[in-house]
């Protein structure tokens, strides 16, 4: 058969010997499916000699009409076609691909060797074997940009959902699979932790109705303006019950005789001190000179410096201090990771696991913790909007809270492979270590926030 000019898409396959028959049968049907894709003209499979490691070798040439058809296939159905083979045979075969060009005479000439635009490594396919960047150099479309940004969110078979589901429902599974080498199907551990922690803090410390007030209608509130007679005289005397009644009547508030009598009784002996801004500071360090501190600490914690810090912390009812503290909490929780990994290293001295393997366990558990907190916040906020009874929402939140310690215990058993008798005391010690470690990092975050105002 004479081959017209066009593109040859070559797929080389190395197959384990015990599945050759099944694979060949599947490959025939797979080729038929490929030929239904627009642009594919024909296909031919070659049976080569077995490779040096005993695997069977197959090479299939797919003839396409043009490079544009190949580009359309690679950017579209290629991922699904490859995933079908992976789902069927897993890692029991390997595949490599390259592009050849058919000449009008019927021969085949290899395409010029291209280099990766990122790391300059010679390319042997559509992706660089060194850095993984795609070989295409053309600008992507707006739709491709959006799909790359949100594809993992909406594709049910993406790594995002393949990670979130076992992270929540299968304690310790991600850690065990990662340690055993099954990694490509899941999101990297630290990326999972960072994504979930960022999502948690964005949701926890944001109030859409407050931050986006312009998008909501103002709420109607009844307010009554009552003039303060004490400020007119410049003193600190509180208005009497009769004066309060007169002010309410002037504002148009009608009260029954019983309400008036109750109001008079309630205001008898009531003392209201109005601050004119000249009150003395609540920060007092009279006994500071008697405090014994190491010399290196005394140089830093002088009385004047502590007074300034105290005044800044108490200013604005502590709002500036609280904002600083909230900014430091994510970093404090991040520093809790290596501390808890060290505790696990001590609790499992005979496990022959490296420190980084214990750190991986802690990273996955903290990622799960942020995921649970995010779900609880979303449940509490969206429950009333969809008419879920408050009792049901509170019950669900409490149940999820109890799931956290259960999750930690089951994860320890699955990852470290020990029975209840050995795991339970280590679990209790880890919980105590968490309480102490969290208190320490929170204390450090509080001190840093106080001195950062």
- The band of 175, judged by pLDDT with boundaries at 50, 70 and 90, is very high
Asked if 101 contacts 108 with a C-beta cutoff of 8 angstroms, the reply is yes
What local confidence, expressed as pLDDT, does residue 383 receive? Answer: 84
The domain segmentation of the chain, as residue ranges, is 6-113, 160-208+295-453
Confidence label for 271 from pLDDT (cuts 50, 70 and 90)? very low
Say whether pLDDT at 83 is over 60: yes
Lowest-pLDDT range, 275-279, 305-309, 366-370?
Answer: 275-279
pLDDT at residue 432 greater than cutoff 80: yes
Q: Please determine, for residue 355, whether its predicted confidence score (pLDDT) is greater than 90.
A: yes
Give the model's pLDDT for residue 203: 87
Which among 331, 316, 308 has a CA at the least distance from the CA of 452? 308
What one-character DSSP code corresponds to residue 62?
E
Whether the predicted pLDDT of 444 surpasses 90 = no
Q: Helix 189-204 to helix 319-347 angle, to the nearest 10 degrees? A: 150
What is the C-alpha separation between 30 and 58, in angstroms, rounded? 14
How far apart CA 6 and CA 21 sit, in angstroms, is 32
What is the per-residue pLDDT for 120?
73
Mean pLDDT over residues 51-58, rounded?
Answer: 77
Cα–Cα distance, 108 to 152 (Å, whole number): 39
In the sheet with 40-48, reading across from the earlier edge strand, the strands are 40-48, 56-64, 6-15, 93-102, 108-110
Q: Is the pLDDT reported for residue 23 higher than 80? A: yes
Q: Tell me the average pLDDT of the chain.
A: 77
- pLDDT number for residue 405: 94
CB atoms within 10 A of CB 21: 11
Local confidence band at 287 (pLDDT 50, 70, 90 cut-offs): low
Specify the CATH number of the domain 6-113.
3.30.70.100
Residue 433, pLDDT above cutoff 70: yes
Inter-helix orientation angle 319-347/303-314, to 10°: 110
Least confident of 81-95, 222-236, 396-410: 222-236
- Which has the higher per-residue pLDDT, 428 or 141? 428
What tens digit of pLDDT does each residue of 221-264 get?
554 444 444 444 444 455 555 666 666 666 555 666 666 666 56
pLDDT at residue 148 in the model:
61
Highest mean pLDDT among 184-193, 308-317, 319-328: 184-193
Q: How much is the pLDDT for 224?
A: 46
Q: What's the rounded Cα separation, in Å, for the pair 17 and 312? A: 74
Instruction: Give the whole-number percent of the chain exceeding pLDDT 90.
Output: 21
Q: Which residue has the higher pLDDT, 323 or 66?
A: 66
Among residues of the chain, what percentage have pLDDT more than 70? 68
Q: Which one has a higher pLDDT value, 6 or 445?
A: 445
CA–CA gap between residue 318 and residue 450 (Å, rounded): 10
DSSP symbols for 178-234: HHTT--TTS--HHHHHHHHHHHHHHHHT--HHHHTGGGSPPPP--------HHHHHT
On whether the pTM is more than 0.75, the answer is no
CA distance linking residue 145 with residue 391, whole number of Å: 44
Helices (H) and strands (E) in the chain, counts: 17, 5
Least confident of 77-81, 205-209, 248-252, 385-389: 248-252
């Amino acid at each position: 058969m004479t081959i017209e000019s066009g593109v040859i898409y070559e797929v080389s396959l190395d197959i384990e010997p015990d599945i050759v028959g099944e694979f060949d049968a599947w490959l025939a049907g797979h080729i038929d499916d490929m030929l239904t894709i627009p642009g594919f003209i024909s296909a031919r499979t070659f049976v080569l000699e077995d490779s040096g490691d005993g695997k069977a070798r197959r090479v299939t040439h797919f003839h396409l009409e043009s490079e544009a058809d190949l580009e359309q296939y690679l950017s579209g159905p290629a991922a699904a076609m490859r995933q079908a083979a992976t789902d069927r045979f897993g890692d029991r075969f390997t595949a490599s691909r390259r592009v050849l060009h058919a000449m009008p005479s019927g021969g085949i000439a290899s395409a010029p060797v291209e280099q990766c635009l990122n790391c300059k490594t010679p390319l042997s396919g559509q992706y660089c074997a060194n850095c993984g960047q795609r070989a295409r150099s053309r600008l992507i479309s707006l739709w491709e940009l959006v799909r790359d940004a949100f594809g993992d969110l909406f594709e049910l078979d993406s790594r995002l959902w393949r990670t979130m589901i076992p992270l929540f429902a299968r304690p310790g599974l991600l850690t065990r699979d990662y340690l055993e080498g099954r990694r490509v199907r899941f999101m990297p551990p630290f990326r999972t932790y960072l994504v979930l922690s960022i999502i948690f803090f964005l949701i926890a410390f944001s109030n859409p109705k407050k931050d986006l007030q312009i998008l909501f209608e103002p709420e109607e509130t009844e307010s009554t303006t009552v003039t303060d007679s004490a400020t007119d005289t410049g003193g600190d005397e509180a208005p009497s019950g009769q004066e309060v009644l007169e002010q309410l009547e002037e504002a148009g508030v009608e009260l029954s005789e019983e309400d008036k009598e109750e109001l008079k009784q309630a205001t008898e002996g009531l003392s209201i001190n109005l601050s004119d801004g000249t009150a003395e500071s609540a920060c007092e360090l009279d006994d500071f000179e008697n405090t014994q501190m190491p010399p290196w600490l005394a140089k830093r914690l002088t009385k004047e410096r502590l007074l300034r810090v105290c005044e800044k912390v108490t200013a604005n009812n502590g709002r500036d201090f609280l904002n600083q503290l909230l900014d430091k909490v994510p970093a404090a929780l991040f520093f809790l990771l290596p501390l808890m990994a060290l505790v696990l290293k001590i609790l499992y001295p005979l496990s022959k696991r490296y420190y980084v393997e214990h750190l991986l366990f802690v990273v996955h558990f903290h990622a799960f913790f942020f995921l649970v907190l995010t779900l609880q916040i979303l449940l509490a906020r969206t429950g009333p909007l969809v008419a879920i009874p408050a009792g049901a929402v509170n019950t669900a939140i409490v149940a999820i809270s109890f799931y956290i310690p259960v999750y930690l215990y089951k994860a320890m058993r699955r990852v470290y492979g020990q029975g209840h008798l050995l795991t339970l005391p280590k679990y209790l010690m880890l919980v105590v270590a968490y309480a102490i470690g969290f208190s320490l990092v929170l204390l450090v975050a509080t001190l840093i926030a106080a001195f950062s105002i």
